[in-house]
Amino acid sequence: MDKSSINVGLLGWGTVGTGVSKILLSQSGLISQNAGVELRLKKIAKRTLPALRDGVDFPDDCLTTDPSEVVDNPEIDIVVELIGGVTDSRDFIGRAIQNGKHVVTANKALLAEHGGELFRLADENRVSLNFEASTAGGIPIIKTLRESFAANRIQSLYGIINGTCNYILSQMHEGGVDFKVVLKEAQAKGYAEADPTLDIEGHDAAQKLLLLTALAYGMNAPSEHIHVEGITKITQQDIQYARELGYVIKLLAIGKLNSAKSVEIRVHPTLLPMQSLLANVGGAFNAVCVIGDAVGPTLFYGQGAGEMPTASAVVADIIDAGKSIVGDRDSRVSRAWRTDAKPEVSLCLIDDIETRYYIRSVVQDKPGVLAQISSILGEHRISIASVIQKERYETDETASLVIVTHMASEKNMQFAMKEIDALDVVKGASQLIRIEEEVAF
């Protein structure tokens, strides 16, 4: 279809809706570039008009209290449902699809209950119904199962897909505190709802798991036959004994093709080997392990909730819908590589970076060596974070001197290293290894 721009309408403007509108407005250039077409935020329907717009700048006529101005508006191409619940949202999505609009939703409860019906409807009307944000927030696990692992028989999947439970269990592991105490604290910090039942009893994880297993196994399992157990009965004693046995307790959502060639679908607290990656997913983070017959074991990790991570997934779905409207399957691949495209950024040469450094020098073991080296570093404005000096090697009276620096410029560091390596007291070339602290999650 030949369209110069595509209009997007939002149903609901809560936390995620606000994030979606922020991204659509502030990143419009990036989004047009990736979608191959301009995506315009045309209408936002909200039950009551907001007093404050939270710094999001859209035209006044964008806001409405009437959902039909989104759902039935012939100008709108893509409807984004973010009102939650299963009654109104089902009606609105159904109407939007019948009106020929592509739909994006984050509504796991709706899809777990009425997915079959809505996808059939989307199929009949030749529109897409995208739902990446329904499960694991910004982690692209839906697309991975649908597309990237499309050549695999999925042998099993294991998800930490409820941030509230993972936060509570992580705090119980770290703080030595009991469930009820941590729950209160989580509620105070906004990690748990005032009524936390849906999370802590495992139902939220079960709804998400049903979406994952539908994709992985092509089966729409009835939710009432799924075993769902929450974390309310986990005690500090269990946490301690588990640790003693080499395990960590996590709320795990499990889908597994077993030896009888039937699929186990269950949510319950689970003991995981302490050294496994999944056991080390802490705080409110989410992670999903997928084991495919071809791809082998994989793990996907990220923020499973929150305004911007969830909005990231919603906008990716909007972009996908936009592409399917303009038929831009092919050209987007090459956009990144087009030499005629003007990149907004330039390459930073290695001399111009700043980072922290580990230096190891072999030095003569005599007084004043550290003073000489540290004064060279000081002259090049490199400050020392820590030093290890090891006992001398008796054979040649040398010792290892290890220095860790604070942030320093590479250029300065290279000059300093030349001077250091030229010192009489330094034997051979020193070792210089860069440090990255930003990946400490």
Known catalytic residues are 208
CB of 338 to its own copies, least distance (A): 6
Sorted by sequence, the CB contacts under 8 Å of residue 194 that are 6+ apart come out as 187
Rounded CA gap, 142 and 211, in Å? Answer: 8
Q: Report how far residue 6's alpha carbon sits from residue 325's, in angstroms, rounded to the nearest whole number.
A: 8
C-beta closer to its own copies: residue 87 or 275: 275
Phi and psi at 126, nearest 5°, equal: 55, 40
Residue placing its CB nearer to its own copies in the complex, 232 or 364: 232
User: Residue 51 Cβ, how far from its own copies at the closest point, in Å?
Assistant: 25
Spatial contact of 310 and 138, defined as CB atoms under 8 Å apart:
yes
For the chain, how far is it from start to end, CA to CA, in angstroms?
44
Please tell me the total number of residues recorded for the chain in this structure: 441
Residue number, 30 or 49, with CB nearest to its own copies: 30
Contacts of residue 165, Cβ cutoff 8 Å, sequence gap at least 6? 199, 200, 202, 205, 230, 231, 251
Give me the residues paired with residue 45 across strands. 11, 64
Between strands 5-11 and 426-435, the pairing is unpaired
DSSP element (H, E) containing 391: none
Shortest distance in whole angstroms from residue 75 CB to its own copies: 21
Closest C-alpha among 182, 188, 191 to residue 162: 191
Query: How far is residue 278 CA from its own chain's centroid?
Result: 15
The one-letter amino acid code at 422 reads A
Distance CA 42, CA 70 (A): 9
DSSP code of residue 393: B
* SS3 state at 30: helix
Min dist CB 238 to its own copies, Å, is 6
Q: How far apart are CA 131 and CA 107, in angstroms?
A: 8
- We find the least distance from the C-beta atom of residue 70 to its own copies, in angstroms, to be 20
Q: Is 268 exposed, middle or buried (0-12, 13-18, 19+ CB in 10 A)?
A: middle
Cβ of 335: how many Cβ atoms within 10 Å? 13
